[in-house]
Amino acid sequence: MIITAFEPDQDLIVVAGTVWGPRGDAIEVPLALDTGSSETLLVPELTDALGYSARDGDQPTVIRSAIGSEPGYMMRVARFSALGFDMVDFRVHVHDLPDGFGIRGLIGLSFLRQLDYDVRSILGQVRARPASPIP
């Protein structure tokens, strides 16, 4: 079991994550834990800084919200790490996020499905371990 701390008095559950670029360089960034997001999402400024571009995308996407539709794309990053776990050749959604939250992406279900986890809100902890097969 790996325990990751977060600030329990904040509006979002924000934890550190690390993303690796195609040349092997890495950037640590704040990410929001979002069980309502089917995909793990990174902002384009981050993927650009790591050496990726929209040409690396393998599928265009659109996120629809109450304020309209915004284009994005799916792509694979060399490595993604959060909550003490690494995924290699990991597929992420690249899309803009609103300013003001201090995050560079979302940890969505595409990552979380690999884990058994629980959130201890009062303690400010996310406890995770590799998912065990269902008997």
Chain segment 24-45, per-residue pLDDT in tens: 999 999 999 999 999 999 999 9
For residue 35, the one-letter residue type is: T
Q: Is residue 135 situated within a structural domain?
A: no
Mention every residue, 6+ apart, whose C-beta is less than 8 A from residue 91. 39, 74, 75, 76, 110
Domain with 82 in it? 2-130
pLDDT, mean of residues 65-72: 75
Q: Is residue 87 situated within a structural domain?
A: yes
Q: Is residue 12 situated within a structural domain?
A: yes
Q: In whole angstroms, give the CA distance from residue 25 to residue 77.
A: 11
Q: Is residue 37 situated within a structural domain?
A: yes
pLDDT tops 70 at residue 66 = no
Greater confidence (76 vs 61) lies with 76
Can you give the pLDDT at residue 45?
96
As for how many domains the chain has, the answer is 1
Decide: helix, strand or coil at residue 130: strand
